[in-house]
Amino acid sequence: MAGVTTAARSSWGIIASSYAQNPVVGTNEIAYQDGPSGNFWINNIPTTEWRDMELYIHWGQQSTWSGEGYWAFGPTTTDNWGGYNYWGWSNGQSYGTNINSNQYVYPVSYSNYWSHMHLYCANAFDSTNTKAWWYEAGHSNGNQTSYATVQRGAGTYQSSNPMQQMYFYTPWGNGYYQYQGWVIIGRNPK
């Protein structure tokens, strides 16, 4: 039967039935919020449908300068181990580690200027003890162009509990609700 495909020989029955067994493409928005104020928690993240978590966030503060921000997973923030490196126009570069603590992001912008972070955490919603994560962040402070910065970091959240919360500390604790928001996307269906 040269030139005849397996599909033709089986009258599509085998291929058609295999579609039901294919995994669902892992992309689904599971939580979002527009307008959190100041320092804020993301709470009650659904943990039943997905294994991995992807986060996009814009955060800021209302003082006149850029400052240090921090984030953490929960419910136990002290289980987070990570390292970071940032590069800036005139503020040079720096690297470091944050062991068993909140994770550092520098800088977080003023007002409505661009200050964004993208984070991915594998096994976030499983009982796996090591939940590997990485993030990238960017910052621009309007006419203070010398403080444009990019940053990357990676680490592990060492807890067997599914990740149910995230905490964000904005510099001076005064992030304005009109310029802050986030969306979480579930990845890798269970």
Using 50, 70 and 90 to split pLDDT, how confident is the model at 171?
confident
Residue type, 12: W
Query: Is 103 exposed, middle or buried, given 0-12, 13-18 or 19+ CB atoms closer than 10 A?
Result: buried
In whole angstroms, what is the distance from residue 128 CA to residue 102 CA? 20
Nearest to 153 by CA among 112, 127, 120: 120
The DSSP bridge partners found for residue 55 are: 119, 184
- 22-37: average pLDDT: 69
- Least confident residue range of 76-80, 144-148, 172-176, 177-181: 144-148
- Please report, rounded to a whole number, the percentage of residues in the chain having pLDDT higher than 90: 23
| Residues 62-87: tens digit of each pLDDT | 776 777 888 998 877 778 889 888 88
Please, which residues have CB within 8 angstroms of residue 52's CB and are 6 or more apart in sequence? Answer: 26, 120, 121, 122, 123, 124, 125, 186, 187, 188
Using 50, 70 and 90 to split pLDDT, how confident is the model at 96?
confident
- Least confident residue range of 8-12, 90-94, 113-117, 164-168: 8-12
- Domains for the chain: give ranges and CATH numbers: 26-189 (2.60.120)
